[in-house]
Amino acid sequence: MRTDSMMPIRVLFACALAALCLLGCGDRSAPPIDPALKASLASWLAEHSKPPTDYVVGLFGSHDVVFLGEAHYLKHDLLFVQSLFEPLYRAGVRTFATEFARREDQALIDSLLAKPTWDEGLARTIVFSQFVLWGYQEYVDLFRAGWELNRKLAPGAPRFRILGVNDSPDWSYFRTRADMDVDSLKAKVWRGGGEEHWAQVILDAVGAGEKVLVYSGIHHALSGFLHPIVIDGKFVRFEDRRMGNFVYRKLGKRAVTVFLHAPWPGPKGMDDRWVCAADGVIDALMQGLPSGPRAVGFDLAGSPFGNLRVRNALYARGYDDFRPSMFCDGWIYTQPISSNQGVTPIQGWINAGNLERARAQSPNPDWRQLTASEFNARIAQAADVRKLWGHLR
């Protein structure tokens, strides 16, 4: 996970760690859905949707880059992405780029995927180096899925590659909360990074003739959409320097963004309570289908889903008439919010061997003196999506 160096650091920190404080917001179910709208949506879905794997693989028939944007921490999203590697490879897509590894560690990633036996320790080192608080098994297992695919390939066949796109910030320069707003210290933390460098990794792969699946948090994955920045409940500006924005400006619609269904931040900003995406219409529809919710992928452009009018979300701020088709190109719905499970915290992720680095490289300077057990408790709490989104269903 990377916070955005173009925003005030105090707000960035709140965004990055919002999951640690947004617990228990009262009941807010998906709203009733107008019967005529429900019939229109259900009919269109039955005719035009595909199983999620077929949908993603099919997008590469007419696109070079597909961004999959997640909300973070959802176990079923990680399992789905891992399951994509083999069918994508069979379709000629051999490159997977991810937020959850650094550009600096590319040689380590390549060596990991080429090893004759699985090296769990090296995989964990790669993830820990990207973000010391990202101690979740399913994110580590992304690399294992790539390694397992390569073990199945015939000798001489092109290898499946995982590319790290993330920066290498040094959070140790923030010793107090006040430091987080000092420009000279922010420059030292970010060390010349920026999402234009993330994008360049992808553009270089496309330039070499590869098609690329990119997996990241949804805000990094936004391509044609400009993300509203809301601070203290007030719209401030649009963000146009996300990884997806840079790629889109070079490739246009050769690059598309697909959202992995999850709640959205509320209209007051990243520290607002979460709300059902698209004003809850998709959740309400899926829960009301005669056969029950089903996993689907579908395009938004030209669909009644893409034309839904949305008001109650961060992403509507600054826009006069926000619609989901403005936000992304495609949508994947897997399961109801009530069925969501968080990723699996790795026991002992922070330990005596890496505690000092965890302290130094936590974005929160207040955490410089935490014990290993306190770090691990916070890592587990962040992934408790049942508490985080328990007010939604």
pLDDT in tens, 367-387: 999 999 999 999 999 999 998
Residue type, 1: M
pLDDT of residue 22: 36
Q: Which residues 6+ apart lie within 8 Å of 280 measured at CB?
A: 29, 30, 31
Reference 241, options 1, 5, 83; nearest CA is 5
Q: Which residues 6+ apart lie within 8 Å of 14 measured at CB?
A: 270, 271
Reference 246, options 218, 224, 215; nearest CA is 224
pLDDT of residue 30: 62
Distance, in Å, from the CA atom of 173 to the CA atom of 151, rounded to the nearest integer, reads 42
Tokens of 281: 């219409």
pLDDT of residue 21: 36
CB atoms within 10 A of CB 119: 17
pLDDT of residue 2: 42
- Report residue 74: phi and psi, to 5°: -90, 120
Q: Do the beta carbons of residue 250 and residue 203 sit within 8 Å?
A: yes
pLDDT of residue 31: 72
Distance, in Å, from the CA atom of 159 to the CA atom of 156, rounded to the nearest integer, reads 8
Residue type, 146: G
pLDDT of residue 33: 87
pLDDT of residue 24: 30
- CA dihedral of 110, 129, 9, 24, whole degrees rounded to 10: 100
Q: Do the beta carbons of residue 190 and residue 167 sit within 8 Å?
A: yes
What does 161-185 look like in DSSP terms, one character per residue?
Answer: EEEEEE----GGG--STGGGG-HHH
Length of the chain: 393
User: Domains in the chain and their CATH numbers?
Assistant: 9-388 (3.40.50.11550)
pLDDT of residue 254: 98
Distance, in Å, from the CA atom of 337 to the CA atom of 260, rounded to the nearest integer, reads 12
Q: Do the beta carbons of residue 194 and residue 5 sit within 8 Å?
A: yes
**pTM assigned to the model:** 0.92
Reference 55, options 227, 295, 287; nearest CA is 295
Please report the sign of the dihedral spanned by the C-alpha atoms of residue 131, residue 134, residue 138, residue 141.
positive
pLDDT of residue 15: 44
Extract the residue ranges of the chain whose pLDDT is less than 70. 1-30, 393
B/e letters for 176-185, b = 16+ CB within 10 Å, e = fewer, are eeebbeeeeb
pLDDT of residue 194: 97
